[in-house]
Structure 1
């Protein structure tokens, strides 16, 4: 074989080597501080955690050289460890960011819960990160530019492939977050923002592939396009797929859903659940044609970490703060005289009970008002044992909510009660069931409120919207036109959960202290709490 022939063969092989390639995109989302596999309520081992996800990331990197690793938001808040760092013992470095740095994330998207601990925590976490936080639609009101820096990243590969990853965040944050925390920040519509920046990615940056990482979910059924919730703008993933041209892959989150290998209008979509139960994996196969990379096929799947080993490197990063968190969690706050435990979740939600009455009493005491509402957030709460520790408090009140007192009319209270009453399915004459709209596609038990300070009955034999058959205040029917001051958490006070009757109402008092701290202080100051029930409400049926 001649030298020229050998050279030609080698050159041909070199061309073939770059004609086709496989790109892998890995997505985590809604991790909510779950670093290690542990249930803080009882310290039992769990099947989830970033330390287990890390083994999947390591495996992918060992078998694929073209990888992008993205976190889609809601990483910094959600466990006692994150609360302890933010509220009790703030150290020089956020351990969550230390973990993300170790795993070499390429970028992270700002989630709505990133704001929960305030801008100081968020800004210091961003500064500590070895990767950019991207969100193109969260703007500085003064400059109209992305407030956290980059709206997107460009990932370049040796074979010339250029991948653009655009970050977007649900625009609904002002409806949940305390206004003082997000002062000076605007949250723009994600569809309009995507149209603008994808144009830039295509025309100016000359990317070959567009990936959108959106901390938001789907507002419509992926197959039929029919609305699955009120179209408030909280979730616009379906709209992004339909209205915005040029998206190849859409990474989503926020709804805690497990979605894999689905397509909407030709866009490959993915959502990897929550609490580090799984990591989303996208595989895109490309081929060079006329010096342009073309997508041959694309697919996605969820890789669950249930059977993976927890990586000791991650455990070591959080070891010190984990130990301190555990000591703090076991600190006794006081005693309960009586029964304040949870045995039956439906029973808790169908008649007045000691746990919910206690939470409402804490809220009323903190706000100095006599009407309050709260919710049993999920079906994991165990209630308070006879000796209450911080572990019990943060396990039962899982969100870093603060309180607001808003001034509303009696008619608003009735409308809110009817909204809560829709939590129950139409009574079939046999058993009380939950309306599927509160369980599918995402459990929303936190959107069923229970009130103290008023007397009411919910009759689930009646049609939705006409179920409040009794509504009294201090022994007389509630005046529909009169104004009342009501305390509730900041999420609900802003209209969160589609409680639009509360949105925009006058804020009489803002109590910027986390509820878990208010509960702890209430118990500490009294020593012993009586598990009282005044029976002011119940669910009935004909």
Structure 2
């Protein structure tokens, strides 16, 4: 039940860090002016973290976060509560081996007052949330409660087994009510669990949250309500706006992993501390305990830096688990950077994606390999330099195994197209157009716009055009084989199922080579607009010149991006390119010699397909992620033997 579909992990930073001073709030039925105080004022400090994920298996930021929590708890002038925003126990490098145990053991040192069940708490399946029979499970092993206020038993309306609907903490004369909320996107959207079939109901967090907060004020006599919302900041703000009675004072968000220092929305403070134990949220609430109201706040996100010492007990826990898994063994060296960043792997071909899918294809002998972008984690770049087993498990932290399915050519195209996110979609407007996967053994163009005939086109397998009627062996991970991330594969024939972890396959692939140097090869080419086609002659003796009519939206062409690609991924940069805005033409000149090298195996007189790509400024497309739009032209190259008179190349 691996939760690998992207929530908002790669969202750009919304706000710069910095101390937020002198905020005023409306809490309960009491409104207080900025900076006001009463004799009953108490300063309550809320310390928060979220989305620890891959940091859970590294002796880096996580032990420092434990230390920072203790430091800030000791420095507080009044009572302190410590809370989490979910996604703490996965994914991480130890997940396939020790599952939730390492992060839970470390979190038990923190003395958290509560956390919220996030989508990655389901990484080990629904039963692993609480496993009473074996005495284990995420919640049974935790010495603090996990909240699921709006994910309830469909029959009873109560929080599902192993979780609580709320928690009340009485400390220093202040009663704090804690609730835990999750949205549809972090349940059905990011797991393969059928919650309805499991007898669970996901209630609308914007309704259940305010209602439960109001109940806590009325029935539990709380002074402050803190909602732990694994929803992301935009939905956390929607929760604040839906709370018309101002029953919720604070929303500690998780899921979209952005830097969002405490800020007021509709009388509620919303905050989120990115992810991977990089920040600790610190919020000081001025509480009038006579009125049961928050009268003001200050807050900040505190960075977890190398100057903060590691908690020795936390480090020992992590190192013991890593030692058992042999994660610190060097297995290979890479001569090129391995890019495991979210932004890269969702938007374009990556060096690490190529390495992973090449390993999948070699291990299975499949024609094609595909893996989902959300299955590649850590949001980091590795190398050039040594690569350890822990690096691989950190980037591939799910217990995914290799599965080979049989697809027709038509089904393969449909599968590839299922991951295209258009620029015009809501997701595209937030994050830019996306291809959302990495591949091996297949090359194609993708058109990220609504209303086009084909969003995936010019598909080639093994260098040959895909045959819609033929069948192909396609290696995938078990998550997407089951239909995860929207892949249409759940009902497809399975040729082979293995118990080989994807991470293990990559480790063994690296270990067998010792040194690797993956590059970007043009496996997935983005195209926004088409140029006219062209025909040229290639003999290696001169220059190839072609002229193209350009679409109306072309304002300028980035001439240094103009290049010709062969079907097997060889790239030849244009020697010269000139765009004429008045004539709406693009003239491209390519040195014939390197172009001839890319088609060296072709016979005399043979026609070969080439593709020309160029980036341009568009008067129509306003990109979010990419810097420029992209043009494509199909170029038919007629091959002539070197030394023969070839005649003049032809354009258009």
Q: Report the TM-score when normalising by structure 2.
A: 0.59
Alignment partner for residue 32 of structure 1, among 43, 53, 68? 53
Aligned positions of 1:335-484 closer than 5 A:
342=338, 356-364=353-361, 370-374=367-371, 375=373, 380-382=380-382, 389-402=388-401, 414=413, 417=416, 437-438=430-431, 448-458=436-446, 468-473=456-461, 475-477=464-466, 479=468
Which residue in 1 is equivalent to 2:280?
Answer: 279
Do the aligned partners of 2:322 and 2:328 also contact (CA within 8 Å) in 1? no
For residue 49 of structure 1, give the secondary structure of its aligned residue in structure 2: helix
Contact 1:112 1:173 in 2 (8 A): yes
Q: Residues 65 and 99 from structure 1, CA distance in 2 versus in 1: closer, same or farther, beyond 3 angstroms?
A: farther
Report the equivalent of 1:265: 266
Distance, in Å, in 2 between the alignment partners of 1:249 and 1:438 is 27
Query: Unmatched 5+ residue regions in structure 2?
Result: 1-36, 131-135, 526-612, 615-630, 632-652
**Higher share in strand:** 2
| Deviation, structure 1 residue 359 | 2.4
Cα 1:238–1:482 change in 2 (3 A) is farther
Measure, in 1, the Cα distance between the counterparts of 2:340 and 2:191. Answer: 31
1:155 to 2:169 alignment: yes
CA distance in structure 1 between the partners assigned to 2:340 and 2:120 by the alignment: 29
Residue 41 of structure 2 is aligned to residue 20 of structure 1 = yes
Residue 208 (structure 1) aligned with residue 223 (structure 2) = yes
Rounded Cα–Cα distance in structure 1 between residues aligned with 2:308 and 2:481: 42
Q: Looking at CA atoms only, which structure, 1 or 2, has the larger radius of gyration?
A: 2
Distance in 2 between residues matched to 1:218 and 1:409, nearest whole Å: 42
For residue 8 of structure 1, what is the aligned residue in structure 2? none
Instruction: For residue 379 of structure 1, report the CA deviation from its aligned partner.
Output: 5.8
Residue 312 of structure 1: how far off its partner (Å): 3.8
Aligned pairs for 1:281-320 within 5 A: 281-288=282-289, 291-306=290-305, 308-315=307-314, 317-318=316-317
Moved more, 124-133 or 277-286: 124-133
What's the offset of the Cα at 1:205?
2.0
Q: How far did 1:83 drift? A: 5.0
2-structure distance, mates of 1:181, 1:407: 29
Deviation at 1:494, TM superposition (A): 7.1
8 Å Cα contact 2:47/2:81 also seen in 1:
yes
Q: Distance in 1 between matches of 2:351 and 2:55?
A: 30
After superposition, give the CA deviation of every residue in 1:256-303 in whole Å (9 maximum; x if it has no partner).
111113222222100011111111112211225xx4322211343211
Note closer, same or farther for the CA distance 1:200–1:364 as it changes in structure 2 (3 Å cut). farther
Confirm or deny that 1:71 pairs with 2:88: no
**1-side partners of 2:448 and 2:347: how far apart?**
10
Q: What is the Cα deviation at residue 29 of structure 1?
A: 0.6
Give the drift of 1:18.
5.8
SS in 1 for 2:221: coil
- Counterparts in 2 of 1:296 and 1:192: CA distance versus 1, 3 Å: closer
- Determine if contact 1:329/1:390 at 8 Å carries over to the other structure: yes
- Give, in whole Å, the separation in 2 of the partners of 1:380 and 1:243: 37
For residue 108 of structure 1, report the CA deviation from its aligned partner: 1.6
Contact 2:65 2:280 in 1 (8 A): no
Contact 1:134–1:149 (8 Å) recurs in 2: yes
TM-score when normalising by structure 1:
0.70
Asked if the contact 1:406/1:505 (under 8 Å) is kept, the reply is no
CA distance in 2, matches of 1:351, 1:23: 46
CA contact (8 A) 1:37 1:52 kept: no
SS in 1 for 2:163: coil
Query: Which has more helix, going by share of residues?
Result: 1
Q: Which residue of 1 aligns with 2:180?
A: 167
Structure 2 CA distance, aligned partners of 1:283 and 1:81?
35
What's the offset of the Cα at 1:67? 1.0
Query: Superposition RMSD on alpha carbons, in Å?
Result: 4.7
Q: Does 1:517 align with 2:517?
A: no
Contact 1:372 1:487 in 2 (8 A): yes
Cα distance, 1:213 vs structure 2: 0.4
Distance 1:130 1:410 in 2: 52
- The answer to whether the 8 A contact 2:422-2:448 is kept is no
Q: 1:329 to 1:162 in 2, by over 3 A?
A: same
Gap regions ≥5 residues in structure 1: 1-15, 39-45, 220-235, 426-434
Aligned to 2:191: 177
